[in-house]
Structure 1
Amino acid sequence: MSVKMTAALLLLQLSGFFGSGSAGKVLVWPMEYSHWLNLRTILDELVKKGHEVTVLIPSASLSYEVGDTSAIKFETYPSSTSLADVAAIFMESIRKCVYELPKQSFWGYFVLLQEVVWENSNYFESLCKDVVFNKELRKPTTLAETMGKADIWLIRTYWDLEFPHPVLPNFDFVGGLHCRPAKPLPKEIEDFVQSSGEHGVVVFSLGSTVGTLTEERANVIAAGLAQIPQKVLWRFEGKKPDTLGSNTRLYKWIPQNDLLGHPKTRAFITHGGTNGIYEAIYHGIPVVGIPLFGDQFDNVVHMKTKGAGVRMDFLTMSSTDLLHAVKTVTNDPS
């Protein structure tokens, strides 16, 4: 199984049976940032159906946010906790959930939600060596064995982006599950967008984990953007580039989905993360893809092949290259 295919949510039934109309316990070991956004969508639906959801998170986390009215429960452990201690916490949480199931009910069940990606597969493997998964809680397991017992895989892509390939019967494609209709923009951002006139705006973000760039790359990008007729909203936290044009504004945060759904948005410059790609697809916005790592290269190639965008090389592109790329996706209807 490829790395991209394993970048999915692992839904594992550990004991008992799934019963219609019954409530169960859901233990979640999540990842941060964009991964959490997708997982939270599923958790919110589980809570609405009466299930008890518990999320294990480190104390220093910044991205696990839910509203005050949410019924999702969080159990926090110190960020400095060693791998062995985290394994013990993980194991105790599973044991607690399983042992607290209704003793006389055939419909009680426990579900583990885990996003399996290459960054944490070794970590999960280490935890699994200390965690007991069968209902007797006597037999340790491995990541491969755990994955093999999964009842369903929720794959975070969809056929509008994928190429044809065979899949197993327990695979369900859920790419774009986080996408929503655009909400009104904050007034300051809306005023800037409206000031773009007939040319519209370009939205630019390299993702939540890339807030700064080298001075040289930032100036190359800014010089290219300064030459386009559109106004630009750029999520950027570094030093203001010397070549920044009057048409470009820098923001530490932008309402990405709401901007992509705005009628004045003409293009999206993106690193090619799955969340942003599917928001662009959902709102029908062409992309200029500048992949940086992981599955981003694959995502951008798929968008280019489908005719929904162009690909740039972050390290070698010039200001002129970026200018031509934006013109291509905004002026070429094909």
Structure 2
Amino acid sequence: MEPKHLTVVLQFLLLGFTDDPELQSLIFSIFLFIYLVTILGNLLIILSISFQSHLHTPMYFFLSNLSFNDIGFSTATVIKMLMSIQEDDQSITYTGCLTQLFFVLVFAYFENFLLTVMAYDRYVAICHPLKYTIIMNPNFCFLLSLISLFISIMDALMHTLMVQRLSFCTDLEIPHFFCELDQVIKLSCSDTLIDNIVVFAATCIFGGIPVCGIIYSYYHIVASVLRITSLEGKYKAFSTCGTHLSVVSLFYGACFMVYISSAMSVSPRKSAVASVMYSVLPQMMNPFIYSLRNKDMKVAIRNLLSRLVSLEQCVLC
């Protein structure tokens, strides 16, 4: 007898990290703190760039895109978990699960592409400084972001539609804190061979090519910097890439750890804990990395905070 297609009335259960009520309260507090820090930190980055005209450059344009994406990524993964703990309700509707899955994929792929575009921006700035303003003009930067977003949306839509054609039977418990593509596919009682092939191919193409692009860019960056004779010139060139390299290492290092953890761990919930490393922590840390290691961002944030304090004093007066 073939499995009945139940997707019209389906509800999934997001099991999260633990069933212990005391630990649930602790997890709620920790993730609420992380989420608020993520939102405030990335908003501060966006506002600082928006109000400082000298930061209206390609590098900071892509940084503001990254901050906006980090807000969306954190919101897509954390908000539902906080609501589930607060309401003591682990269920998520079929439509809600697919919607969350779609947005998580969009933000994950867009972050992947943005980091690649930012590496290309640094490559042009260091390897072709005289042509930088010509190559990285505003229209081209906007086009790069738009193409990256379009590919991310199309890829996420493809995976979401493929999940929609699957049938689900009885075991609808997701041992995760959000609807992750791999976990949802594992719950299906349909033949998932095609889905797994598509996921593997998409990961190789839309994950492998950007990583290769980043490696290629930094290979030429390092080669160009080593040709600089003065130590001051080398330090200045490397310092412009240090922040981006830190963010790249954090994001891809976390993704690699999740992959290793998923492959070696027998407990799905341990995989959920590992997923925090790429879906929550990098989005919180990125504003700190860029604000602490970038002098221009420090000045811009200080000026923004001074404006806000002055505005508050004027309102009170």
- TM-score after normalising by structure 2: 0.24
| Structure having greater relative contact order (Cα 8 Å, sep ≥ 6) | 2
The structure with the greater share of residues assigned to helix is 2
Going by fraction, where is strand more abundant, 1 or 2? Answer: 1
